[in-house]
Structure 1
Amino acid sequence: MKKFLLFSLALAAALLVAAPVLAQMSINGAGATFPAPLYIKWAYKYNQDKGVKVNYQAIGSGGGIAQIKAKTVDFGGTDEPQKPDFLKEHGIYQFPTVVGGEVAAFNLKGIQAGQLVLDGPTLAKIYLGEITKWNDPAMKKLNPKLNLPDKDITVVHRSDGSGTTFIFTSYLADVSPEFKAKVGVGKEMNWPGKNSVGAKGNSGVAGQVQNIDGAIGYVEYAYAAQNKMAYANMINKAGKVVKPTLESFGAAAANADWKNAPYGYGIDLINEPGDNSWPIVGATYIMIYKDQADAAKGKAVLDFFAWAFKNGGDIARELHYVVLPDSIVKMVEADWAKEITSGGKPIYKK
C-alpha cells in the first residue's frame, strides 16, 4: 500500500510538471506578409483550442527563406515557391496552405473601391513610370465615366524581399513584354518610375497608399479589405471586368494542377483563363526541414497546420483566401508522414 501511495504521488508530481510544459509549447515562424492576417487568426484560435502558442513574424518572403535556411525559426513562409533543386539541396519540404489575390489599391479623392478599372498593360506602364498622371489618355479610355484628376501618380512598391512582389511582377511580365524586358520578375526589384515610394510588408504599402493622395500600390486583398481601401477592378485574360472576390480568386485557383506540380507544389496561377478569373492570384507556402532536430517541435508545426486545414477554412474564407481542395490536403499530409522525420523516424501520423 505504501509503495502504491509513493508511486501515485510521484506520478501526480510528474503530471503537474508535464502539464505546464505542454501548455507552454510554442513554435516560431516568419516570412511572407501575404498570408499573415490568416496565420495570425489561425494562431489565435489554435492557442485557444490547444494551448499551443504560434508566433509568426510577417517579415516578407525573403526574410522567411533566409531564416529557415539559418534555422532560426521552426517554419518559414514564402509566396515565391522555391524550386525543387533548392529544396533538395537544403533538405527542406515545402507545401501550400491557401490561395489569395492581390489588388491595386489607390488613394484618389471621390473615387471608391471598384469604380476604377485597370488592365494589365496599363498597370505595367504605371509601374514602368510611363503613365504618370491619373488623367492619362490610357486611364481615361478605360474609365470614360470617371472624372480623373490631373494629378501625379505616386507608385508605392515593396522595399523588402517580397513574395507579394514576386506574384505582382509575374503578372506584369506576363501581360507586358516591355515590363518583362526592363524590370523582370523577382522578390526585390529596381523600379524605374521616378515618383515612387518603397515600404516594408503589405501593411507598409497599405499605409503609404493611405497617407499619400494620388498613390497606387499592390497589396494582398485582405489588407485592402481590412483597411477599407479603394482598389481597382481588373480586365482579365478573357477581356471581362472582374471584381476581387473569393469567387474570382477561386475561379483562377480552379485551374491549379496540384497533382502534377513539381516537387514542392510550386505552381503558377497568374492570368488564368475564364470569364470570372481574377488575374493576380498566387498560392502561399510553408517551408520546414525534412530532418527535424527537435521531434516535438516539428510535430507541433505539422499539428498546427493539420488543425488549420481541418478547422480554419471559415476563417480563411472570411479573409478572402481560397482553401485547398481536400484531395490536395490529403496528399500533403501523406507527404508529412513519409518525409518529415527526426532521427530517421516519422514524426507525424494522420
Structure 2
Amino acid sequence: MKFNTFGRTAAVTALAALALSGCAANEGGTAGGDSSESASELTGTLVGAGASSQQSAQEAWTTAFQTANPDVTVEYDPAGSGAGRDTFIAGGSAFAGSDRAFNDEEVAAGEFGSCATENIIEIPAYISPIAVVFNLEGIDSLNLDAATIASIFRGDITMWNDEAIASQNPDVELPDTTITAVHRQDDSGTTENFTEYLNAAAPDVWTDEADGVWPLEGGEAASQTSGMIDALTGGTGTIGYADASRAGDLGTVAVMVGDEYVPYSAEAAAAIVDASPLVEGRGEGDLALELDRTSEEAGVYPVVLVSYLIACEEYTDPASAELVKAYFTYIVSEEGQQEAADAAGSAPISSDLFDKASAAIEMIK
C-alpha cells in the first residue's frame, strides 16, 4: 500500500489553481507559512457542521488554516453526520462533514440550501478505522470474528466468558461479567459504517440493513462520539464502536479477515479505500465510494470509516465558494493530511485520490 507524499510541486500547483491571489502559501503550498512571504487576503467566517469523528482533525485543520489566514474564522460543529447533512440541506452551513455520502435519493432531490445548482462536491478526505472498543479490567485486546461481534451487539451473546468469545481467545482469562453493548443514540455515520460492515460480513446474524440510526431495541445509547467514549469508560464490561482516534486506553478488537485477525491501523483502513470503486451515476465532483466490507486480502481492516467533506459545486454566495475552496484545498494537501494523521491517527489519502479530490475542488465556484 502506498500513501500519498504529493511533493512540494504538486501542492504548489494545486493552490495556484485556486486563483486566490491572497491565499497564503508557504513552501509546499499548504496553509501554514511565513506571513512575510505571502500575506493572506481571505476574510470572513466559514461555517461547517457534521461528523464528530472528524472533530480532532477539524480542530487541527482550523488552527493551521486560521494561522495562515488570520482574517478568516472557521467554525465546525461536531453535531453528528446526520445533523451536518440536515444543516447543509437547510443552508445553515457552507459545508458538511459526514461519515457517509449523500445517498442516491438525497442527491436526486437536489435540495441544498447554499447551492446555486443541484450539483454537490463530496470528497473522502478523512479515512480512519472504526475501533470496536471495550472496557474489561486487565484485558487490552481480543480477537473476534464478524458473527461474534454481530451477536454481541444484537444481544444474543450476553456474557464475556461466552464460548464464542473464549474459543477465539484461548490465552485470555475472560471474566464472568455481563456485556453492556453501547450504541449511538443520534443519527450517526459511524453507526451506518459499522452496521454496513455487520450486514456485509455477518449477514446471517445481522439481518438489518446499514442505517445511521441504530435499528435495535435494548443496549445502552450514547450521543455522539464523546458520549460513546464516556459510556464505555464509565462502565464495566462495556463494548461499543468509535472512530479509532478516540479509542484511548480502552481495549480494542482485532477483526477476523480471511484466516487471520487484523487489528485496526490507519494503513489497513486506507488499503480498502484504494481498492473500492466510486458510486456510479454521480456528478464529476462527487467522489462517493462503494466500500468492499467483505475483502479477504491480507492486512485489510474492513471496519473503516470514510468521512466526507461536502460542498456545493456552485454557491449562491461567491465569498463562501472562495473560503470553501481554499479550506478544502488545504485539507487534502500533504500538510493538511499530515495534520489529521498527527491529531487523529487517520490515514493520509493516496496520490491517486489526491488528484481526484483536487479536480473536484477546482470545480467549486
2: CA distance, partners of 1:302 / 1:228 = 37
5 Å-filtered alignment, 1:1-350, equals 25-51=44-70, 52-90=72-110, 91=118, 92-112=120-140, 115-181=141-207, 183-192=208-217, 194=218, 196-224=219-247, 227-236=248-257, 238-258=258-278, 262-263=282-283, 264-269=286-291, 270-310=293-333, 311-318=335-342, 319-338=344-363, 340=364, 347=365
Q: Distance in 1 between matches of 2:358 and 2:279?
A: 14
> Normalised by the size of structure 2, how large is the TM-score?
0.80
- Where does structure 1 lack aligned partners over 5 or more consecutive residues? 1-20, 341-346
Answer whether contact 1:261 1:267 (CA < 8 A) is retained: no
1:113-151 Cα offsets, whole Å, 9 max, x none, are xx3111110000001110000000101001111110111
Deviation at 1:100, TM superposition (A): 1.1
Contact 2:329–2:361 (Cα < 8 Å) also in 1: no
Relative distance call for 1:88 and 1:323 in structure 2 (3 A) is farther
CA distance in 2 between counterparts of 1:151 and 1:100 reads: 30
Structure-1 separation of matches of 2:352 and 2:255: 31
1:168 partner letter: F
Distance in 2 between the 1:271 and 1:261 partners?
A: 23
Please tell me whether Structure 1 or Structure 2 has the larger radius of gyration of its CA atoms.
Answer: 1
Q: State the number of aligned residues.
A: 312
Q: Quick one: percent identity of the two aligned structures?
A: 25
Q: Secondary structure at the match of 2:167?
A: helix
- Give the superposed CA RMSD: 2.0
TM-fit CA distance, 1:23: 6.9
**Residue 259 of structure 1, CA deviation:** 9.5
Q: Is the 8 A contact 2:338 2:348 kept in 1?
A: no
Aligned mates of 1:26, 1:103 — CA distance in 2: 34
Does the 8 A contact of 2:337 with 2:349 survive in 1? Answer: no
Residue identity opposite 2:76 in structure 1 = Y
In 2: Cα distance, 1:228 partner to 1:35 partner: 20
Letter in 1 for 2:97: G
Q: Deviations over 1:301-350 (max 9, x none)?
A: 11011012122122222222122223333323323333x3xxxxxx3xxx
- Give, as a single letter, the amino acid of the residue that structure 1 aligns with 2:162: D
Q: TM-score by structure 1 length?
A: 0.83
Residue type matched to 2:57 in 1? L
* Paired residues of 1:268 and 1:282 also in contact (CA < 8 A): no
Higher helix share: 1
Distance 1:271 1:136 in 2: 25
| Residues 179-236 of structure 1 deviation map (CA, whole Å, 9 limit, x = unaligned) | 442x3210002324x4x11111111101100000000000010011xx3222111111
Q: What is the SS of the residue equivalent to 1:241?
A: strand
User: How much has 1:22 moved relative to structure 2?
Assistant: 5.5
How far 1:293 moved relative to its partner?
Answer: 1.7
CA distance in 2, matches of 1:49, 1:330: 23
Quote the Cα distance in structure 2 between the aligned partners of 1:190 and 1:86.
20
Alignment partners' CA distance in 1, 2:266 and 2:281 = 23
Q: What is the deviation of 1:46?
A: 1.0
Residues 252 and 274, structure 1, Cα contact 8 Å, conserved in 2: no
Q: What is the CA–CA distance in structure 1 between the aligned matches of 2:232 and 2:172, rounded to whole Å? A: 20
What is the DSSP-based 3-state SS (H/G/I as helix, E as strand, rest coil) of the residue aligned with 2:151? helix
Whether contact under 8 Å (1:167, 1:281) holds in the other structure is yes
Equivalents in 1 of 2:147, 2:360: separation in Å?
A: 40
Report if the CA contact (8 A) 1:46-1:304 is conserved. Answer: yes
Conserved 8 A contact 1:26-1:55: yes
Q: Using the alignment, how far apart are the partners of 2:135 and 2:165 within structure 1?
A: 15
- CA distance in structure 2 between the partners assigned to 1:293 and 1:87 by the alignment: 18
